[in-house]
């Protein structure tokens, strides 16, 4: 029952992250990729929503997409784990299935 939910849209433009959080169970993982990584930043209007999800879900963000968008480590919400492509593969392997929120 532990699924991996990938989100690739900005939380300020699309409801993908909000819906992914709403539709994911405790114990599941949420991986932010592409424009989805904006959801990992501190001080935004989406921060509380992300922190709320982190109570019983694990949130990850993809390193190369953070780098391209100039999101430095000190801007990332505490507790979000940064993964590279190999880490992405590990997550896919460790979870039952992948659900993509586009």
Partner 1 sequence: MSEVKKFMYLNRRAPYGTIYAWESLEVILIGAAFDQEVSLMCMDDGVYQLVKGSDTSESDMKNFMPTFRTLGDYGVRHMYVDKDSLEARGLTQDDLIEVAWEDYETEEEVDNIVEIVDADQVAKLMAESEVVFS
Q: What's 57's DSSP letter?
A: S
Query: Whose Cβ is closer to partner 1: residue 28's or residue 83's?
Result: 83
**Judged by CB under 8 A, does residue 81 bind partner 1?**
no
For 55-73, b/e burial (b = at least 16 CB within 10 A) is eebbbbbbbebbeeeebee
Q: Three-state SS for 58?
A: strand
Among 17, 65, 80, 101, binds partner 1 (CB under 8 A): 65
Among 5, 38, 57, 76, binds partner 1 (CB under 8 A): 38
Query: Whose Cβ is closer to partner 1: residue 38's or residue 60's?
Result: 38
Only segment of 18-26, 50-58, 60-68, 89-97 that touches partner 1 (CB under 8 A) = 60-68
Minimal distance in Å, beta carbon 72 to partner 1?
7
**Distances in Å between the alpha carbon of 68 and those of 27, 35, 44, 65, 71?**
29, 10, 19, 5, 8
């Amino acid at each position: 029952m532990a699924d991996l939910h990938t989100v690739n849209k900005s939380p300020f433009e699309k409801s993908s992250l909000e819906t992914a959080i709403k539709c994911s169970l405790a114990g599941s993982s949420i991986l932010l990729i592409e424009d989805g990584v904006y959801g990992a930043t501190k001080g935004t209007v989406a921060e509380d929503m992300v922190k709320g999800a982190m109570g019983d879900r694990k949130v990850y963000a993809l390193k190369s997409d953070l780098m391209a968008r100039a999101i430095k480590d000190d801007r990332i919400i505490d507790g979000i784990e940064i993964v590279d492509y190999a880490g992405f593969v590990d997550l896919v392997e460790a979870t039952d299935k992948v659900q993509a929120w586009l």
